[in-house]
Amino acid sequence: MSSSTTGQMHDDHDRGHDHGSDVTDMELRVRALESVLTAKGYVDPEALDRIIEAYESRIGPRNGARVVARAWTDPSFLQALRKDASSAIAAMGFGGRQGEHMTVVENSGREHHLVVCTLCSCYPWSVLGLPPAWYKSAAYRARAVREPRAVLREFGVVLSDEVAVRVWDSTAEMRYLVLPMRPAGTEGWSAEELARLVTRDSMVGTGLPLQADAQAPTP
Amino acid sequence: MNRRLSSADLGGLALGPVPGIGDETRFHHPWEARVMALAVAMGPTAQWTLDHSRSARESLPFDRYLANPYYRTWYEALCSLLLERGLVTVDEVRTGCAESVGPGRLASLKVADVDRVLATGSPTLRPLAHPPRFEVGQLVQVKATWPDGHTRAPGYVHGRSGRVAAVLGAHILPDRRSRRLVGPFDETPEWLYTVVFQGRELWGDDAEPATEVSVDAFESYLLSNSSESSSN
């Protein structure tokens, strides 16, 4: 599909600007686009506000953390996740856009999972929200498949060669959620307490959950 | 090095350190949030599909694709799609002033429907009568033929052999759905497989120890590979 028309338009427009004006320039362009789409009746600005609000408040990594904590504490839920993660997650109310089809991959002492999308930025929005800047970066997309251990070290995750690294390139509509290992010393913790240990990065594979002493359970 | 399928085909490139680790800013500028919302809100108008959006984004020239802030690429692709469909003119995009009213046939996403639309998404799983051609455990090879248009088999697996680890059901084939520029779009499904490649098969001696990479590959991307020795 050709982007020559807009490409040309932007080239013409860019010529008179230096880099310092990019932000203002984009702010104006996007305002113009929203105005014309609104005037033509294609979009409703209130709906746009509602979409942004959803991804700023309701739809984020706390959803995924609840899935993980429940998997740690509820063996029948873990079985359901293994059998059909899409349905098990949707039943918790965390299905939907960019989480329609889900697979949960389980870390163990023998293997560590890492999720990437080399072709764009596919990410399980319904459980983790919008992807962070690094996930969308060219460097992460390029290198996670070729040198995942080097990439993990940049995130502070150092794995021994005894631990196999399994990288999941999200090339179709299946979205991957990493189930990290439950931290030691959390016996008897509730799912709610455990969810506080589950970081966003630990569910992408670029991090590990917080340790038990980082978040003592509330009495 | 493998050839690039498109500007978006980055897997395996030797690039520098991962930027932005620890940066939790969701939107760096207000316009980024508006672009995200505009792209999401245009979805239900059914003027194009996610595959068309991806195709438009990856059609940007490579230098521009790499240099653009993320949501600028979304903005440029959104403009391309709107122009191609004749929904706006270049002047309208530039000025923000509508020269004519819309075609009147677009049902815009209403605020009351946002939560439901986000909670439903657009599942791509479809029934398919014939059985999958490959089974779990089977050795397969990704075709090295160069596609004509949008596809989802990254260049770094072209010609490489791997093993089927899962059959994910039959899903709409993006290659076909993105071909037609106006609806009704071709939603023919095809069997989808998770194929696992050993690091050495992809990167040779450069591979890190004990690493493997999987991609989700449609049936038409794959050949059966009977030479069992080439995989490990």
- DSSP one-letter code for B179: T
Say whether pLDDT at A2 is over 50: no
Residues 173-202 of A with CB under 8 A from B: 173-174
Q: Quick check: helix, strand or coil at residue B212?
A: strand
Q: What is the enclosing helix (H) or strand (E) of B63?
A: helix B62-67
Task: Say what the alpha-carbon torsion angle B80, B82, B87, B89 is, to the nearest 10 degrees.
Answer: -40
Kindly report, residue by residue over B88-146, the tens digit of the pLDDT.
Answer: 999 999 999 998 876 666 889 999 999 999 999 999 999 999 999 999 999 999 999 88
Share of chain A above pLDDT 90, in %: 86
Say whether pLDDT at A44 is over 90: yes
Asked if B30 lies within 8 A of A27 by C-beta distance, the reply is yes
Please give the ipTM for the structure prediction.
0.95
Say whether pLDDT at A217 is over 80: no
Say whether pLDDT at A193 is over 70: yes
CATH 2.30.30.50 matches B139-230: yes
Burial (CB count <10 Å: 0-12, 13-18, 19+), residue A12: exposed
Q: Look at residue A9 in the predicted model and tell me its pLDDT.
A: 45
Is position A122 annotated as part of the catalytic site? yes
- DSSP one-letter code for B113: G
Q: What is the mean pLDDT of residues B189-193?
A: 98
Kindly report, residue by residue over A120-146, the tens digit of the pLDDT.
Answer: 999 999 999 999 999 999 999 999 999
Q: What is the mean pLDDT of residues A52-73?
A: 98
Q: Which CATH number fits domain A60-214: 1.10.40.30, 1.10.3720.10, 3.50.20.10, 3.90.330.10?
A: 3.90.330.10
Is position A117 annotated as part of the catalytic site? yes
Q: Report the residue of A50, A149, A206 to disrupt the B interface, i.e. the one with the largest count of B CBs within 10 Å.
A: A50
Going A126 to A132 to A136 to A141, the CA torsion angle's sign is negative
Residues 133-162 of A with CB under 8 A from B: 133-134, 136-143, 145-151, 154-155, 161-162
Q: Quick check: helix, strand or coil at residue B57?
A: helix
Say whether pLDDT at A159 is over 80: yes
Asked if A120 lies within 8 A of B57 by C-beta distance, the reply is yes
Is position A4 annotated as part of the catalytic site? no
Q: Quick check: helix, strand or coil at residue B141?
A: strand
Is position A120 annotated as part of the catalytic site? yes
Q: pTM for the full model?
A: 0.93
**Closest-CA residue in chain A for B39?**
A48
A3 pLDDT tier (thresholds 50, 70, 90): very low
Say whether pLDDT at B4 is over 90: no
Residue boundaries of the structural domains of chain A: 20-58, 60-214
Q: Quick check: helix, strand or coil at residue B137?
A: coil
Average pLDDT, chain B: 93
- DSSP one-letter code for B125: B
**Closest-CA residue in chain A for B182?**
A1
A24 pLDDT tier (thresholds 50, 70, 90): confident
Say whether pLDDT at A36 is over 50: yes
DSSP structure string for chain A: ---HHHHHHHHHHHTT--GGGHHHHHHHHHHHHHHHHHHTTS--HHHHHHHHHIIIIISSHHHHHHHHHHHHH-HHHHHHHHH-HHHHHHHTT--STT-SEEEEEE--SSEEEEEE-SSS----HHHH-SPPHHHHSHHHHHHTTT-HHHHHHHTT----TTSEEEEEE--SSEEEEEEPPPPTT-TT--HHHHHTT--HHHHHTSS-PPPGGGSPPP-
Taking contacts as CB-CB distances below 8 angstroms, the residues of chain A near B42 are: 37, 42-43
Token pair of A193, please?
Answer: 């307490």
Asked if A52 lies within 8 A of B33 by C-beta distance, the reply is yes
Q: Which of A26, A119, A166 sits opposite B212 (nearest CB)?
A: A166
Q: Which of B114, B124, B156 sits opposite A145 (nearest CB)?
A: B156
Instruction: Compute the distance between CA of residue B70 and CA of residue B32 in angstroms, rounded to an integer.
Output: 9
Instruction: Compute the distance between CA of residue B51 and CA of residue B47 in angstroms, rounded to an integer.
Output: 12
Q: Look at residue B211 in the predicted model and tell me its pLDDT.
A: 98
CATH of domain B30-120: 1.10.472.20
Q: Look at residue A13 in the predicted model and tell me its pLDDT.
A: 43
Share of chain B above pLDDT 90, in %: 87
Instruction: Compute the distance between CA of residue A54 and CA of residue A50 in angstroms, rounded to an integer.
Output: 6
Share of chain B above pLDDT 70, in %: 94
Kindly report, residue by residue over B44-60, the tens digit of the pLDDT.
Answer: 999 999 999 999 999 99
Bigger pLDDT: B192 vs B145: B192
Say whether pLDDT at B1 is over 80: no
Q: Quick check: helix, strand or coil at residue B169?
A: strand
Q: Report the residue of B91, B192, B211 to disrupt the A interface, i.e. the one with the largest count of A CBs within 10 Å.
A: B211
Residues of chain B with CATH 1.10.472.20: 30-120
